[in-house]
Structure 1
């Protein structure tokens, strides 16, 4: 569309709406809308006490073909990851980022060989930490950065994700509000990924294929 055609279309829309370029009243309405980020209608399904919310999250995650586990605290996380890899008969090798919640993890009591950083595509298993979970859909919210490189979300075939029980929210709107509060304008992560279950597709003959565009297995460990 050329510039003159675009301007003509926009001018017709303005006339139909009774607007004019640079209208201060309309600019004020837009600024208020962007500044307040109003919440839409939120279903009641996830509006539960915390423990019930976590149980709903785990149930919905399993329905989406993820596997789940719970540990009391982060000290138990290394063994939980080792158990998952062992039960899958996988090599005892793990890649993880620089999330501060992983800094004090003691893998010495496991057989795991741990490396850090982004994935180069050759890692079979990775461990990430989610910013939160959504109970009504069993979805994880993962933000990008050196603490949890996005490559760990998509390149390894087996993805283990830890999420704190206190960070499991009832709905996406609650997590989006937390995202804005945590990072603020101008400081948002480069990407935010919402992950529900392992990668899958049924595009070819309606046959479900796991690992079509990412990990073939997602294992969620709720901490706390």
Structure 2
């Protein structure tokens, strides 16, 4: 690395209150710059189980995570959550979650894509990323993308076995699971919709759901 670049980056680190790079870390960076393609550097995750890290990451972005033992526990968990929000116990379901007996807990449900008049949408995620509290959803007949964005309240089921640590791991898993059957769209959703464009005041639900609940199955 040139001396001028070292000086500039050193000034940036000092300005951020960060210590100088260790020799080993500098060697890794030099190898990445001059040694061709390498594994990407990834943030170090806390020494916690992935479900804990995912729940914490989701809460940081104003989402909510409820852990359930089985998919069959989803209706009761959803009904309790809707009652807490003072929202009617009804929802529009992605066909991918229609195998669950939602009516057993008194929920009124319909199935299919949303036309924009549904208050609650329930989706199935392929994966979730612990690093950022992100859920990864595919488009398709079984998982209509409209349910991700049109209802005010978005509920997502994801299996704990499909939690990954970093975003890079998610793309690896997607290639493995989907093979050549890639969807037209892959949505990465991190928390509810938000904007601070108006007077720098954070508003939820600006151009999508105002609340996001993730039901983490088997955690």
TM range (shorter): 0.7 to 0.9
Q: Specify whether residues 146 and 55 from structure 1 end up closer, same or farther in structure 2 by C-alpha distance, changes over 3 A only.
A: same
Alignment partner, residue 43 of structure 2: 43
Alignment partner, residue 61 of structure 2: 64
Show CA shifts across 1:19-51 (max 9, x none). xxxxxxxxxxxxxxxxxx9752222216x67xx
Structure 1 runs, 4 residues or longer, greater than 3 Å off: none
Structure 2 Cα separation of the partners of residues 38 and 163 of structure 1: 31
Residues 1:182 and 2:167 are matched in the alignment: no
| 1:1-224 alignment runs, 5 A limit | 39-45=39-45, 52-99=49-96, 102-185=97-180, 187-224=181-218
Cα pair 2:103 2:109 within 8 Å, conserved: no
Q: How many residues align?
A: 182
Structure 2 Cα separation of the partners of residues 212 and 80 of structure 1: 26
Structure 2 Cα separation of the partners of residues 128 and 141 of structure 1: 11
Cα pair 2:55 2:65 within 8 Å, conserved: yes
CA RMSD of aligned residues (A): 1.6
Cα pair 1:96 1:115 within 8 Å, conserved: yes
Cα pair 1:39 1:173 within 8 Å, conserved: no
Structure 2 Cα separation of the partners of residues 69 and 130 of structure 1: 15
Cα pair 2:63 2:211 within 8 Å, conserved: yes
Structure 2 Cα separation of the partners of residues 199 and 179 of structure 1: 24
Higher Rg: 1
Q: Specify whether residues 175 and 116 from structure 1 end up closer, same or farther in structure 2 by C-alpha distance, changes over 3 A only.
A: same
Cα pair 2:98 2:111 within 8 Å, conserved: no
Alpha-carbon distance, 1:107 to partner = 2.1
- The runs of 5 or more residues in structure 1 that have no matched partner are 1-36
Q: Specify whether residues 83 and 184 from structure 1 end up closer, same or farther in structure 2 by C-alpha distance, changes over 3 A only.
A: same
* TM-score normalised by length of structure 1: 0.77
Show CA shifts across 1:67-115 (max 9, x none). 111111111011111111111111111111111xx24311232121110
* TM-score normalised by length of structure 2: 0.79
Instruction: Describe the SS at the equivalent of 1:108.
Output: helix
Cα pair 1:145 1:189 within 8 Å, conserved: yes
Structure 1 Cα separation of the partners of residues 39 and 135 of structure 2: 20
